[in-house]
Amino acid sequence: MSMLELKYIVPGDDFTRAGEASGDVKHKLKKIGYNPDAIRRVSIAMYEGEINMVIHAGGGEAEVNIDPDRVEILLIDHGPGIADVEKAMQAGFSTAPDNVRSLGFGAGMGLPNMKKYSDEMYIETEVGKGSTVRMIVYAQR
Amino acid sequence: MEEEVITACGSDMMSDVLAYVKDQSLLLTGLVNPQIVRTAEMMDMHCIVLVRGKTPDDTILKLAEQKDITVLSSPYRMFTACGLLYSNGLRGGCDVS
Ligand SMILES: Nc1ncnc2c1ncn2[C@@H]1O[C@H](COP(=O)(O)OP(=O)(O)OP(=O)(O)O)[C@@H](O)[C@H]1O
Ligand SMILES: [Mg+2]
């Protein structure tokens, strides 16, 4: 059991709401007085992942487990999966269509950014089934 | 707005803002959708300036108010708006690498 366990549904059909879960996590971490640097890293990493679920996977679920020494973020979707994770991790690689780019995303920077801001990141994915991204951010880096 | 703004960043791509911004507190953008507020929120930016005379809709304003982020609108294009702020002392704060 973690000190604080949070669960969210991330709707895939409402771009306006993408980031709501990450915003709520940020708010809660601030309220409990978590390390500001860790809050920032959690916020950016989770927001990138949440946006990915919305634009690439039709939404999903987010689970966040907060402990004094670390925050675990789980992003679970049942979208198309990622065929080549190594390629997807490269800066600049994106399959986002033009309409996503006109919304300000799709530069292929999200996954590398998530890797940069988290301390541990694991991707489990199966084409046609979905993806689960697990990230851990330590309170002290 | 009571926060003092020292550094700024201009971009229409939120992907780039999320990847490259360090501690700039002002975002200039020509993009108008709620994700500009979310991005500013995650990056701890306090103020958004919409360039090219764009105006925020109610969804954006409501969200910004809730997140305590100021939204301004400027008639200038991105280059000029950035130039004006720069010539008045604001800096980029971005890494050159
Ligand atoms: N949850 C996901 N489901 C399916 N594919 C994904 C998922 N997340 C990422 N991808 C794939 O990996 C690619 C790279 O993702 P990444 O987040 O780095 O860039 P992006 O989302 O395309 O653009 P940006 O994050 O800069 O807005 C995506 O274009 C997409 O093909
Ligand atoms: Mg992305």
Residue A106 CA to ligand 2 centre (angstroms): 6
pTM score over 0.90: yes
Rounded Cα distance between A32 and A13, Å, is 32
What mean pLDDT is predicted for residues A47-75?
A: 98
- Is A47 in CB contact (< 8 Å) with chain B? yes
Per residue of chain B (97 residues), what is the pLDDT tens digit?
566 788 899 999 999 999 998 888 899 999 999 999 999 999 999 999 999 999 999 999 999 999 999 999 999 999 999 999 999 989 886 555 4
Task: Give nearest CA residue, ligand 1 atom 9.
Answer: A52
Contact B35 A113 (CB under 8 A): no
Coil, strand or helix: which one is A72? Answer: strand
Q: Of ligand 1's atoms, which has the minimum distance to the CA of residue A93?
A: 14
Give all domains of chain A, ordered by start, each with its CATH number.
4-138 (3.30.565.10)
ipTM for the complex shown:
0.94
Q: In chain A, what residues touch B69 (CB-CB under 8 Å)?
A: none
Q: What is the pLDDT of residues A81-135, one digit of tens each?
A: 999 999 999 999 999 999 999 999 999 999 999 999 999 999 999 999 999 999 9
> Whole-angstrom Cα distance, residue A129 to residue A114?
22
Quick count: other Cβ atoms within 10 Å of Cβ A56? 22
CATH topology of domain B7-89: 3.40.1390
Pick from B34, B33, B36, B32: which is nearest to B15 by CA? B36
